[in-house]
A = this chain, B = another copy of it.
């Protein structure tokens, strides 16, 4: 069960438009009703800097400066942030959840290497139109909120090795 913060203001702090360079994490957290803690700030900074989806383990290992927050805290934070919409949960086929920071990057997908697990980020997603189309055909569904799409293949490096 996820404890919901009281939403004072529910306005995302997105810079709007395509030039979302940097985001004031403190303001972002506040605008979502979260308290601004060192842990949350560092978590967002780490996720943003990583640029690639991270598992809880990854986050804990990459944590710098201070001691990493407890794993339970990381799970709680990431889940809350995901519900709030500034972090996306992604399945890379590894069986463990990975999280990606979304405010500064447009919606996109990935290719994962079956050999070494390398992840490459793909350009803009072109599935929005498809969603509308699907809803016309669907018997049971009247709305689509999101989708997950990941490709699996072999990266150049692994292709050479084999």
Contacts and interface: CB of A to CB of B under 8 A. Distances in A.
Interface of A: 89, 91, 93, 95, 97, 111, 113-114, 118, 120, 122-123, 126, 130-131, 134, 137-157, 159
Contacts of A148: 91, 93, 148-150, 152
A123 B147 contact: no
B120 A141 contact: yes
A79 to B, nearest CB: 11
Contacts of A151: 131, 134, 144, 146-147
A156 B141 contact: yes
B159 A152 contact: no
Nearest to A151: B147
A120 B138 contact: yes
Q: Which of A139, A149, A153, A157 has the most CB of B within 10 A?
A: A153
A116 B89 CA distance: 19
Nearest to A114: B145
B156 A152 contact: no
Nearest to A144: B153
A145 B156 contact: no
Contacts of A134: 111, 122, 151
Given A93-B148, A147-B150, A150-B147, A140 B156 contact: yes
Given A91-B91, A131-B151, A118 B146 contact: no
